[in-house]
Amino acid sequence: MQATVFDDTICELGEGPIWAEGRLFWFDIPGQRLHARDEAGATRSWHFGERVSAAGRLREGGLVIASETGLWRFDADSGEWQLIAAMEADDPTTRSNDGRADRQGGFWIGTMGKKFEKGAGALYRLYRGEIRLVRTGLTIPNAICFAPDGSRGYFSDGNDKCIRTWALDAHGWPRQDPETFFDFGPLGGSPDGAIVDSEGALWCANWGGGRVLRILPDGRIDAEIALPVRQPTCPAFGPALDRLYITSAREGLDAAALAAQPLAGAVFQAPIAVPGLAEPFVDLD
């Protein structure tokens, strides 16, 4: 399958796409911006004054947004945002990265060093309005996603190029140490953002590989979507769950690479054969 352009707004580091409230939201992390586009093509953007990277749908309406200082409740209509919980707000060297809602009403978010410092990142989980540290020692946490029944979670660390998995309890907390699920080492590039479809397969962006891979629950590659850029960052299911929307980045590309990939940083779309899953709601109570 080949992807086509959905929106040609160029982001330095496009990330965190999510369909909510009738539109696709996505971030430009260095640009400190959230962008949105609805199905009719109307666009809007918001500037936050700090780096923002990921979002989830709040059951009460609006979004939970991860920034470099915390998790925030955001109303896209009014533009108002309110702090839910601080997160590494006293550490100016780190920022948020990949994040996603789980099936139990929680929201997971990874942090990382702004200069990619080894081991400076961590995984957190927001659950019923409280944030808790889950894992430390990560470098570039990514691929946060969850099995359809919520019994298993996934994440990766770009430092070792592996997607890891662990069993979750009824409340969504890990109940064992993570184990390797899929190794990108032989393929080239690294795992970036990922989502899980209705059959439990992961659609994972292959940073540096110019594609999104569909990885079955048993670890076999089943399908791929080719992109005209080398650095796809994260996929999201569309409102009908029959299409992927994929952010990308131009960060770190030299002049020759940018000339060869003029659409680096745009958002792409592609049809899929197996239906996706709607993003779960995040519960604050």
- 111-140 confidence digits (pLDDT tens): 999 999 999 999 999 999 999 999 999 999
Q: Is 192 a catalytic residue?
A: yes
Position 142 confidence tier, pLDDT thresholds 50, 70, 90 = very high
In whole angstroms, what is the distance from residue 10 CA to residue 263 CA?
7
For position 40, what pLDDT does the model report?
92
Nearest to 231 by CA among 203, 250, 257, 258: 250
Q: What percent of the chain has pLDDT over 90?
A: 98
Mean pLDDT of 31-38: 98
Position 2 confidence tier, pLDDT thresholds 50, 70, 90 = confident
In whole angstroms, what is the distance from residue 4 CA to residue 10 CA?
15
Mean pLDDT of 20-29: 97
For position 31, what pLDDT does the model report?
98
123, 55, 48, 111 alpha-carbon torsion, rounded to 10°: 10
Instruction: Give helix then strand counts, H and E, for the chain.
Output: 1, 25
Among 98, 192, 222, 254, which one carries the catalytic annotation? 192
Nearest to 212 by CA among 148, 153, 253, 268: 268
In whole angstroms, what is the distance from residue 285 CA to residue 282 CA?
9
In whole angstroms, what is the distance from residue 110 CA to residue 167 CA?
18
Tokens of 245: 């929307």
For position 137, what pLDDT does the model report?
96
For position 174, what pLDDT does the model report?
98
273 — alpha (psi -120 to 50), left (phi > 0) or beta?
alpha
Tokens of 29: 């992390």
For the chain, give the mean pLDDT: 97
For position 25, what pLDDT does the model report?
98
For position 159, what pLDDT does the model report?
81
For position 96, what pLDDT does the model report?
98
**Structural element, H or E, at residue 256:** helix 255-260
Bridge partners of 45, per DSSP, are 35
For position 109, what pLDDT does the model report?
98
Amino acid at 27: F
Mean pLDDT of 61-83: 97
68, 269, 35, 198 alpha-carbon torsion, rounded to 10°: -60
Mean pLDDT of 197-203: 98
Per-residue pLDDT of 227-280, as tens digits, reads: 999 999 999 999 999 999 999 999 999 999 999 999 999 999 999 999 999 999
Tell me: pLDDT of 158 over 90.
no
The region of weakest confidence among 92-96, 99-103, 158-162, 271-275 is 158-162
For position 247, what pLDDT does the model report?
98
Q: Which residues contact 167 (CB under 8 A, 6 or more apart)?
A: 151, 152, 174, 175, 176
CA distances from 211 to 21, 30, 86, 227 (A): 28, 23, 35, 5
Tokens of 159: 């430092």
Q: For residue 55, how many C-alpha atoms fall within 13 Å in the half-sphere facing its CB?
A: 32
